[in-house]
Amino acid sequence: MATVQIKDEAKVGSEARFKYEPSAYLQKLYQTGTPDLGWMNQHGEWGIRAKPGNLGLRLKDIEIGSYGVVPEHGSTHRSMAPRGAVVPADVPSLDFTVNEKAECWADNAMELYEEAVARQWSSARDIPWDELRPLPDDLERAMCQLCTFFTEVEFIAADAPTRWMSRINQDFLEVKLFLATQAMDEARHTDVFRKRALANGGGLGTATTLSELSLKRIFDSPSFSVQTARLHLLGEGFVLTMFRQGEFIAQSRVEQEIFRRCMQDESRHVGYGTVHLREQLKSRPELAGEIHDQLDDAEQILLQTFSVPELVEPMAILMGGGIEHFDKGMELQGQLWRRIVNEYLQRCDSAGLDRRPRCLLPTDFAQLFGA
Amino acid sequence: MASFPDPAWFVALGRLMAAEGESFRRLGYAEVRFAIRVLSDEGEAIEGTTGLEFDGYALVRAEALTDSAAFEPDFVICGRRQVWNRMLEEIARNGRPELRHTLSSLALVGEELWLESSDQLREDKFYRVNQTLTEFFNLAAKLRD
């Protein structure tokens, strides 16, 4: 084998702060040439043969034997040592704080992780950017303002849960893997809306204080489950509906593909959040009160957020097809409002949270205007 | 030639889906069971309901349903004959429906197409695999009369 030439090799280590001493094992290996091989007798359950299904070897296919047992309480060593491996007694702790399965688990996390990996897309490759055509000024401004909003809010669904991701016990690996895909999804959403705003003669519009307040409350959530209620159940549930509206109001196949693909991603996030809350509330029903309190606040902020012209008007202009059809756009929004609230309440039902009596969101769109 | 919504019509789309191969793989796999319901233009009479199942990148099941509940679909996409026909005509003409006539857009408004499901989470699968559903229907442009 040819020797690799390393630039200035003589300098390497010349100012190193520590002196390297070969371990006793390496010295013995050098002297005797005999490998230790003791590690061959230290392992988890042995003889495991996971079988791939028709879609390859998925996480669910390796949840077998002792490896398929997800503990109710995370390991007390609090290290990154893989679940099912032999763990030395002296591994350093990473001080995970989410150590109970119920605090983060959702039975669909594995399925959603694999689905997310399989359904990734590229905003550069998969959006037919060359089909963009100049739009009338009002429509372009409305689309750019909507894209500004999404660029502003989307990454909170990466920043906020990943704050908790690093605190989740490594035994709940499947949840962490799913949250990693969510972060990737939100990176793509942030980039694709920014790209759309900058791709057709417009640019970014205005950020809003109320959106920022809403994001801050999500970011500052006191627990992962509370954050899930605010973020996945309410916030992403609403954004999911907005993405669906986005496909409806698309002015070209560019926006249509953007919104449809984002919608697919977002529905996975909502699916995780709903099932997590269901499992958490089953395990700790007393948490319902705290989650209701948080949703009281979150719904109030959401109503305020959607009471400013920067959010109400672009959607109405796009739905109506221009400023001259603003009324028609508002009428369409009114028709959709009941659907939005209904889906949110049904997701709360699915999570085992009877939200109906406390829900601040009016079922009638006219009530938003005090009518 | 079978006509929409006969199971054989969907089986023909399924064959096209298999022939497309890589383009559906790029969209990612889909595991979903759902039904398509066609209602008469005049009223609520059901002309036909077809149960469909995707497993991965293939249509693995297409059958006429008399009892939709027994099929246990994640969701049922319902619409009157003329709405389905308009969508299929647009697909035949342009390779895809007009912007506001896609599955998702029509189901959003809920007047021309609507979803039925026993659980919001299962209904949300319609959105999770929507690109696959859309591209599947767009294959109708390649069906020969």
Q: Residue B36: inside a domain, yes or no?
A: yes
Q: Are the Cβ atoms of A350 and B119 closer than 8 angstroms?
A: yes
Q: Which residues of A touch B124 (CB under 8 A)?
A: 240, 267, 270-271
Residue B1 pLDDT: 75
- Domain range for A334 is 103-369
Residue A34 located in a structural domain: no
Supply the range of the domain harboring residue B129.
Answer: 7-140
Find out whether A110 and A176 touch, Cβ atoms under 8 Å.
Answer: no
Asked if residue A136 has pLDDT above 70, the reply is yes
Q: How far does the CA of residue A244 sit from the closest CA of chain B (Å)? A: 7
Residue A62 belongs to some domain of the structure: no
CATH number of the structural domain spanning residue B55: 3.30.1050.10
Nearest C-alpha in A relative to B122 = A271
CB contact under 8 A, A350 and B130: no
Please check whether residue B84 lies inside any domain of the structure.
yes
The number of folded domains in chain A is 1
pLDDT in tens, A276-329: 999 999 999 999 999 999 999 999 999 998 889 999 999 999 999 999 999 999
| pTM given for the model | 0.94
Q: Is residue A235 part of a domain?
A: yes
> Which of B24, B27, B29 is the mutation pick for testing A, counting most A CBs within 10 A?
B29
Q: Do B121 and A115 touch (CB under 8 A)?
A: no
Q: In what order do the strands lie in the sheet with B113-116?
A: B58-64, B46-56, B30-39, B75-80, B113-116
Q: Side chain identity at B46, as an amino acid letter?
A: I
Beta carbon pairs, A and B, within 8 Å = 77
**CATH code of the domain containing A273:** 1.10.620.20
Residue of A115, A251, A261 lying closest to B131 (CB–CB): A261
On whether residue A70 sits in a domain, the answer given is: no
Note the ipTM here: 0.93
Is residue B133 a contact partner of residue B87, using CB atoms and an 8 Å limit?
no
A270: Cβ contacts below 8 Å, ≥ 6 apart = A232, A233, A236, A237, A240, A347, B124
Q: Percent of chain B at pLDDT above 90?
A: 86
Tell me how crowded residue A246 is: count the other CB atoms within 10 A of its CB.
Answer: 27
| Contact call for A335 and B129, based on CB within 8 A | no
Best CA proximity match to A223, nearest among A154, A291, A292? A291
Q: What is the DSSP letter of A8?
A: T
Q: How many domains does chain B have?
A: 1
Mean pLDDT per 10-residue run, chain B (145 residues)? 93 96 93 97 90 96 95 96 96 93 89 92 95 96 83
Residue B2 in any domain: the answer is: no
Q: Is residue B145 part of a domain?
A: no
| pLDDT tens-digit readout, A207-250 | 999 999 999 999 999 999 999 999 999 999 999 999 998 888 89
User: A343–B120: do the CB atoms touch at under 8 Å?
Assistant: yes
**What are the chain B neighbours of A333 within 8 Å (beta carbons)?**
none
Question: Does residue A14 carry a pLDDT above 80?
Answer: yes
Task: Answer yes or no: do B56 and A250 touch at CB < 8 A.
Answer: no
Residue A264 and residue B55: Cβ atoms within 8 Å? no
pLDDT at residue number A76: 97
CB atoms < 10 A from the CB of A218, how many? 26
